[in-house]
Every structure is written in structure tokens, then in C-alpha cells.
Amino acid sequence: MVFRKLPGVSASGMGLRLSQKFVFLLFLSGLVTLCFGALFFLPDSVRLKRIFLSKTETQPVTVGSGSENDAREHLKRPKEQEHPRGMTSAKGETSTKLKSLSRKPSVPHEATEARLAGSRAQEDLTLPRSKAESASEKATASDHGATSDTFSYTKFKRCLLKPPLGRDYGKPSDPKTNERREKVKEMMKFAWDNYKRYAWGKNELRPLTRNGHIGNMFGGLRGASIIDSLDTLYIMGLMEEYNDAKEWVQTSLDLNSNGEASLFEVNIRYVGGLLSAYYLTGEEVFKNKVMELGEKLLPAFNTPTGIPRGVINLGSSGTSWSWGWASAGSSILAEFGTLHLEFVHLTELSRNPIYTEKVMNIRKLLNKIEKPHGLYPNFLSPVSGNWVQHHVSIGGLGDSFYEYLIKSFLMSDKTDDDAKKMYYSALEAIEANLVQKSAGGLTYMAEWRGGILDHKMGHLACFSGGMIGIGADDGAPEKRQHYLDLAAEITHTCHESYSRSATKLGPEAFRFDGGGEATATRLSDRYYILRPEVIESYMYMWRLTHDPKYREWGWEAVEALEQHCRVESGFSGIRDVYTMTVSHDNMQQSFFLSETLKYLYLLFSDDDLLPLEDWVFNTEAHPLPIIRKSCLQDEATQDKTVSE
């Protein structure tokens, strides 16, 4: 025995002197501490650790993350713990019985995930496989420490019904469609390469003057085109470009700006873009950045009603203002009504309820307030909580508020009943008051000014074809077909606004009076700035009906973009869609990369690329996952049971 060799220690070991006893005890307690401490370094799966340390004790405070590697982890679980995904009740909720039977996606899902992870890494020219893997392993490590009340990327992945990128990145089997899809990918690469070459780090590219544009929408934040492109590059498999974008976020996205930003624009582009990038890739950097940015937006809600103002100082003051042009210091419906999806996800990732509380407060106020003819006017006072004037529009100033009602319902796994009710009653009011038929038989959405109709439809309002389409299935049974027909009619009208122009691109606004029929009658409405809304509706209508005309219409748009908007160093908007001698506006908008090209690419892809069963697109086309609360809770319970 070691003790016998210690000087002054008797053979029995019992006759120790006091100082010797002290040394012995010290040694013993050191040994115990060492053994106990070593438990912390064991992997989570080791049973000893689970016995000695409760879950919460092992958790880092930060939220967890993961990768495809995490997803494979649960393949090791016993078979009886698995349940088939994709089995839902009529209400779209996963049946409790099924959930208790088993708990993991079907094997093909896992196999595809593994294949996708592998082929992504092979395609990845800038990031060697080992580095890519170690990056995702790092994320995995922190995820393993997640408690039931921290976000777990692994659990999130398990609760998806399908692999996000499909079986083969959504590659269509039909060669002609695939060729078209490749063309769109080439357009994205061309737009990106030129942005990178001439405007790297700025917000947008000016393709004629070959420089960058910063503007004043993002309060000193930079790189809007980078953030807006992350998910598009990723789903297109442009991995070298995606890695450049990610690296820029890591090293150069500075959120410590002190400028005045549009809360709406920062939310839909930056918050939305970073959230999507995180959910698609599991890369911690996106989550950390979006958490930091989310906090900076909170002071905007410090108004007497909690309705945020439009402009916010991103610095420590957090002061906010209403837009100078908004009547009587009002806030804009499409701005404060287009925060819900992103803010709910900020709560989801941070487990901080504050973000959801802020948007639920907006929801409550809007639900309670009296609405003229059931319509929501575009301007509301953040001080009194009353409407400021009665202008109603499904286009600019109103648009994405309606979009976020139905998408909030869908994103909640169809549990958010208030959103559902508000959406369908708003739609009824819209149909009763705004939907019109032109002399030539075209269905359109007019605008409403205190009871008087303005027979004009903005390009922005063309998103409503897709919106009404995705909401059709959850309407009253007797209305479902009607909604799908209405969606198709609106999309047809918007296509007409394109096909009636010389360039085959649509104007900013078109009218149905003064002899006009889906055409712009004012000079000031003739421009096209690479907007996505018409193509967005083609994409949704294609997914819902598989009518080949939507792909044909999308292809017409590709040809027109190539012919009139592609210049030597990027893509540019044009000033007049009715003339073939085009004049370019010298701006490649960031939404061209995030929306227009993404929707085109999805239009020519199989439906399993970002399947609508799992994803909703925010208004800037950033995909956000449906939150399956019941599945996530089940996963947490299951984890607890396994660890007990």
C-alpha cells in the first residue's frame, strides 16, 4: 500500500499522527473530487453521467445546436422508440397515440440526410471535408448539452417530416425543366459574382456603375445582399459562394451600428435571413448573430400601445420614430404586422418569451379594434391605438400583414386559431369590398379609400395569388375550391400585367380604369425593380396545382429578365416596361437574390426541395420551419425517459 511507504505511518495505518491524518484526508478528498469532476468530461450518452448529474447541471446556458451528425445520433436508439413521421390527423396534428409508439423520421429521411451531408461536403470546394465536419461536430457538441427548455437543433431536425433539401436537392427528372433550373442557378451565380466583385460588404450592387450601394434602410448595417443570399446559395448548392457569405457573417457582420433603420426591413431581411441560414445549416454563427440583433429591436416596442414605430435607432438609445411621410406619426400595418414569424422563432431559439409577447400584443390589439367593414386600414397610431386614416390595400402598406396571418397559422402547425380566424375574416372582408372583375373579365384587388374604390393593383399585391392559394385548404370546406380558383384568377391577372407589356415584365402598378386593363396608365407606375411577387405566386400555384402553365409563365419571366435586366455586371431594374429601348435603374436589389431567383429555382425544382409541409417562407422568401410543439415536447419527454 502506498500509505505504508509514507514516513511515520504505522503498518496498521490506524496509529497515524494528526498531521498525517490530515494529509491522508486531503489526498482522499482530492481523489473523490477528481473522479466526480471527470464525469463532466464524459459524453452525454454515458449512463454514469446521467445518474450522477441531472440534465440541467450539464447544460451550457447558451442554446444548443447541431447538424446532420446529430440527426444520425438517434438512429442508434432501440426500434420500439421510433415512430413514423408524416402521419397526421385531419387537423394536421401528430396523433398522440402514434407519438407514444415511436419517435423518429423514416429511414429514407435519415439516409437522404446522410447522403446530402456527404455530397454537400464533396461539392464544397473551399471548405475541405474534414473542416466542414469538424465545424458541424462543434455545433453537435453544444447541442448534446441541451435541456428540454433550451433549443435543440437535433430535436428540431427530428421533428421535420421530410429532408429540407429533398432526395436529390429537388432535381427534376424532366431534362427540360432541369435545364431551366440550371439557367436560374447560373443567373444567381452571375448576380452574386458581380456583387462580390464590385460591391462586397455593401448592401446592394449598382451594376452599371460597378460599385456598391449602402442606402439608409438598414441603419448602418451592411451586407444586405449577403444575408439575403445565404439560403438561396445553400439550396442551389453554390457552396463556395455560400462559404464566402458565411465567412463574411463570421468576420465582418457588425451589429454595433448606431444608425436609424427600418424595423420592418431589418426584420424581414436580416433576422429572416439569419434565422433561415441557421435552420438550414445548424451553424452557430447565424444563431448567435440573430439573437444579438433580435435584442436590438426590442426598444422599438416601447410605445404607449406596444405598437412599434417604423424607424429604430440600432444603437444603445433604442429611440424610435414614425416615418416622416406616414400620416400623423402613425405606424404602418404592413410593417408592424410583419414581425410575427421571425419573432416567434426568436423566442423559439432563445427560449425568451419576450419576442412572442411583443408580437402577440400587436395581434391582440388588432383583433380587438373596430375594423371598418371588417377591413384593416394601413395606418395606426402607436400612441392611441386607433386607425389614423382609412386607406386599405393588399399591395404596399398592407400586403404582408395578411400574409403573416395565414403563415402564422401554418407555422404554428395549425394550432394558432386566432391567426386563422383573423385571416379568414380579413379575406372575407377583402372579397366583399376589394375583389373586382374588370370589363375584360380579369379578377383584381382594388384599393379602398374611405369607402371609395381605386381600381389599381400594385405589383406588390400580386403576392396574394400565392397567399390565397396556400390558405385555401384550411378554409371552410365549402370555400376551399373557391379560394383556389380565386388564387388562380389573381395569378392570371398578374401574368396578364406582364404579358401586356413590351418587355414581358410587369409594371409597379396597373389599372383597370381610364381605358386601362392590367396596364399602367401613369408614367410613374411603369418601372420594374426586379420584384418577386408575380413569380412567387407562380411558384405556389405550381406546387398546389401542378398546372404546367405556371412553369411556362416563370420561364417567360426568366427570358425577359435575361433580355432586359441582365447587363454586363449584374441585373438591373428598368424604368419603363412598355418600351424595348430600356433604361436601367442601376440597382440590383437584394430581394432579387433572396426572392425572385429563389422562387424561380423552386418553380423548376421538385416539390421536395423545402417542402411546404415543413417550411413557410417569410415575406423576403426566407424559409422558416413549422414549429411542431407536440413533437418537440415528445422528444424532450423521450430524452428524459432515456436518461432516467
The reply on whether position 591 binds ligand DMJ by CB under 6 A is yes
CB-based contacts of 525-529 (< 8 A; 24+ apart in sequence): 526/575, 526/576, 526/577, 526/578, 527/573, 527/574, 527/575, 527/576, 527/577, 527/585, 528/459, 528/503, 528/565, 528/573, 528/574, 528/577, 529/573, 529/585, 529/587, 529/589
Amino acid type, 639: D
Round to whole Å and give the CA distance between 420 and 425.
9
CB of 528 to ligand DMJ, least distance (A): 10
Nearer to ligand DMJ by C-beta: 222 or 598? 598
Nearer to ligand DMJ by C-beta: 142 or 400? 400
Nearer to ligand DMJ by C-beta: 576 or 620? 620
CB of 141 to ligand DMJ, least distance (A): 37
Nearer to ligand DMJ by C-beta: 542 or 591? 591
DSSP for 44-98, written as a single string: TT-HHHHHHS-HHHH--SSPP---HHHHHHGGGS-GGG---TT-B-TTSPBPHHH
Bridge partner residues of 574 (DSSP): 528, 584
CB of 228 to ligand DMJ, least distance (A): 9
Round to whole Å and give the CA distance between 569 and 609.
30
CB of 203 to ligand DMJ, least distance (A): 12
Q: Could you say which residues in the range 594-613 bind ligand DMJ, by CB under 6 A?
A: 595
The reply on whether position 619 binds ligand DMJ by CB under 6 A is yes
Residue with cell 386614416: 389
CB of 509 to ligand DMJ, least distance (A): 13
Q: Taken in order 239, 229, 70, 290, is the CA torsion positive or negative?
A: positive
Round to whole Å and give the CA distance between 358 and 34.
47
CB of 570 to ligand DMJ, least distance (A): 17
Round to whole Å and give the CA distance between 301 and 310.
10
CB of 531 to ligand DMJ, least distance (A): 4
With beta carbons less than 8 A apart as the criterion, state whether 282 and 153 touch.
yes
Nearer to ligand DMJ by C-beta: 525 or 620? 620
Q: Could you say which residues in the range 279-338 bind ligand DMJ, by CB under 6 A?
A: none
Q: Could you say which residues in the range 433-462 bind ligand DMJ, by CB under 6 A?
A: 460
Q: Which distant-in-sequence residues (6+ apart) come within 8 Å of 197 by Cβ?
A: 569
Nearer to ligand DMJ by C-beta: 267 or 281? 267
> Cα angle at 271 between 269 and 272, to 5 degrees?
60
Nearer to ligand DMJ by C-beta: 400 or 491? 400
Q: Could you say which residues in the range 514-553 bind ligand DMJ, by CB under 6 A?
A: 531-532
CB of 600 to ligand DMJ, least distance (A): 14
Q: Is 530 left (phi over 0), alpha (psi -120 to 50) or beta?
A: left
Among 403, 447, 508, 595, the one annotated catalytic? 508
In angstroms, what CA-CA distances link 399 with 174, 320, 455, 589, 629?
35, 23, 16, 19, 28
Round to whole Å and give the CA distance between 504 and 499.
5
562 is catalytic: no
CB of 260 to ligand DMJ, least distance (A): 18
Among 447, 620, 634, 635, binds ligand DMJ (CB under 6 A): 620
Q: How are beta strands 387-389 and 443-445 bridged, if at all?
A: unpaired
Task: Give the helix ranges, DSSP H, for 394-463.
Answer: 399-411, 417-433
CA-based nearest residue to 255, from 204, 290, 300 = 290
In the bound complex, which residue of the shown chain has the CB atom lying closest to ligand DMJ?
Answer: 619
With beta carbons less than 8 A apart as the criterion, state whether 593 and 532 touch.
no
Binding residue count for ligand DMJ, defined by CB under 6 A: 8
Amino acid type, 388: V
Nearer to ligand DMJ by C-beta: 408 or 619? 619
Q: Could you say which residues in the range 561-580 bind ligand DMJ, by CB under 6 A?
A: none
With beta carbons less than 8 A apart as the criterion, state whether 316 and 293 touch.
no
CA-based nearest residue to 489, from 531, 545, 451, 422 = 545
Among 400, 412, 497, 519, binds ligand DMJ (CB under 6 A): 400
What are the strands, taking DSSP E only, across 307-370?
A: 311-313, 320-321, 331-332
Residues tagged active-site: 508
Query: Which residues contact ligand DMJ (rule: CB under 6 A)?
Result: 400, 460, 531-532, 591, 595, 619-620
